[in-house]
Amino acid sequence: MHYHTVDIFIAFVEAHKYWGYFILFLSMIIEGELFLLAAGILSQLGAFNIGDVFLISFSGVLFSDVLWYSAGRFLKEKYPKQKFINFIVHRVKKTLPSIEKNPFKLVFISKFLYGFNHSTILVLGFLKTNFRDFIKTQIKASLLWVIIFLSLGYVFGFTALRISRGVNKFVLALIIIFLLFLIVERAIDRLIEIKIRNGKKGC
């Protein structure tokens, strides 16, 4: 029975996959990284269709980008002198100091900096950057982001399943893989932030 628990879980998720797709779309608006990795894992297990996941994730990310950009423009026009706007701008400029000079290059980079993408898009809305250029950049960045994290999730699922089909070992393997991924990702994020700041100082 122990070795069928993963299969039972897969069957359960597959039976409710449309709810899963709906949750995946909504998660792209808030913080989709971990959800996209999970969707990649479920795709590898066969519970989700990889093509459906790609289309839903990509459309969800673009919807999220437009939503956050529009929110930035609205807030700047409605509450131009609010402290929280200055706080967000200061936070983003501290990490991405040349955002006003190279907004589209940095918004591409911010897609891969954990916790900075949405605040960066808000700032672009505050600055009223050209929407057409913004969406062209976001389409490229979002396409690459979805492919990378969906592929990583797929690989994570394959790796964990190779270790065990028993639910306990499978989940433990996924937790270890996720932790290692988060450590590496944070280290890379930190190196990118340092490089951007040093590049600004050298100008």
Considering only residues 76 and 54, tell me which one the structure prediction assigns the higher pLDDT: 54
Q: Encode pLDDT of 9-66 as tens digits.
A: 788 888 899 999 999 999 998 877 888 999 999 999 889 999 999 999 999 999 999 9
Q: Which of 125, 54, 137 is nearest to 92 (CA)?
A: 125
| More confident position, 104 or 159 | 159
Query: pTM for this one?
Result: 0.79
